[in-house]
Structure 1
Amino acid sequence: MANQSSRLDHVFAALADPTRRAIVMRLCAGEASVGELADPFDMALPSFMKHIHVLETSGLVLSEKAGRVRTCRLSPDVLLGAEDWFQQQRAVWEARLDRFEAYVMKLKKEKERAGARRPSRTTKRKGSE
């Protein structure tokens, strides 16, 4: 469990940066060389490689070097852990919202019952004529 939590922390930390999210989105279309991945970004290659390193450390990206070309590909299985976490959170929050809705409906019915028992304000009192 602790190992999964640590891995999940690395995945979310890696995805916290918009550059790294863009890299992951590009890799969803298929593998690419570091040069191809870096091309749309206005940064030096060493800076870009730091982003690749973070993605590799998190397990989201795998890379292989053939000669002078490093090719990266997505490791989608790592995202399954994040997806499981989101599904668990969704279930927790849906249950909480269902209980909240039931509570609000209960209060509404109680208010309606209390309003039905009160005498109308337009009713005349004895001796007011």
Structure 2
Amino acid sequence: MDILESSEQRFLHAFSINLQGPYFLTQQMAKRMIKWKKQGVINKGRIAFITSVQGYISNPGGGEYCMTKAALGMAAKLYAHRLCEFDIPVIEISPGIIETDMSLVHKDNINRGFIKRGST
């Protein structure tokens, strides 16, 4: 939805699902992983955040989604920084665009973003 037409409810809903959920799930899982590492229960493991290339290109028609994916990318960096002392890798997987009815509407804008960014 166009950022000039979006509502507070839509904004909060997107952030609740795409950012708040993964953020607090990771927080709880990280605490367990730290505990298990200290107890010797695990010696490996990693945390993966699934973001989107949409978090790195401007798409005013998908404002909430783009913002949540950008914020989730930052959450991945913050958790990586915080958990490195425990040898718990945190990675960000940022898939490209999947052609769906929803994405085709913004295909030209998305492609321009890829070209400008230098992505392939």
Larger RCO (alpha carbons 8 Å, 6+ apart): 2
Fold match, TM over 0.5?
A: no
Rg larger for:
1
